[in-house]
Amino acid sequence: MLASIPTVVASSGSFLITPSLGLMIWTLLVFVASMLLLRRFAFPAIRDALDRRQKAIEDSIDTAERTRVEAEQILAEYRERLREAREQAEEIITRARRTAEDAEREASEQARVRREKLLEQTRRDVEAETRRAIAEIREEVANLTVLAAEKVTRKTLTAADQKRLVEEALSELDFSALASEN
């Protein structure tokens, strides 16, 4: 039996190795029929699926491009707004500094003017007080002179004598030195 198997195998596969003209025609006819059937039914469906896939990919690419362009525009707008916000912040800071400097200068000027007014008022008060003190001193000197003259002479002086004695005593005193000291 074993001897018969190799002959069967050899005889059954030999027609494929050495094809005959009939086998070639049938193979060609089956191939053409298969191609026609594939072309009629399978290839259009495959082409449609590939076209849909290509269209979907192109749409995705277009959408991605539009999204990228929009993102770049939004980024540019954001950067512009950020630049404007920085400029506004710098402008606000500059104005605030100027306002603070102006307020400081104005306060300093007001303090200087007030100080000068107070100094002037103090000078006037000192001068008025000096004049009043000198007047009081003159009056006191006059009274003391009259009393001294009365004691020396032991008599009461007349108004004319009093006036003459006061004038003499006052002319001997140097009140200008008192006034210039202040």
pLDDT tens by residue, 109-138: 999 999 999 999 999 999 999 999 888 888
Residue 38 lies in a domain: no
Residue 143 lies in a domain: yes
Cβ contacts of 156 within 8 Å, gap of 6 or more: 150
pLDDT of residue 17: 74
Low-confidence ranges of the chain (pLDDT < 70): 1-16, 151, 154-156, 174-182
Number of domains in the chain: 1
- Helix, strand, coil proportions of the chain in percent (round to 5)? 90, 0, 10
pLDDT of residue 12: 59
Average pLDDT, the chain: 84
User: How confident is the model over 152-163, as pLDDT tens digits?
Assistant: 775 667 778 778
**This model's pTM is above 0.75:** no
Nearest residue to 145 via CA among 133, 135, 157, 134: 157
Contact between 140 and 168 (Cβ < 8 Å): no
pLDDT of residue 13: 59
pLDDT of residue 2: 45
What is the span of the domain harbouring residue 174?
A: 53-181
Nearest residue to 138 via CA among 108, 180, 178, 79: 178
Extract the tokens encoding 52.
Answer: 């849909």
Give the separation between CA 146 and CA 140, rounded to whole angstroms. 10
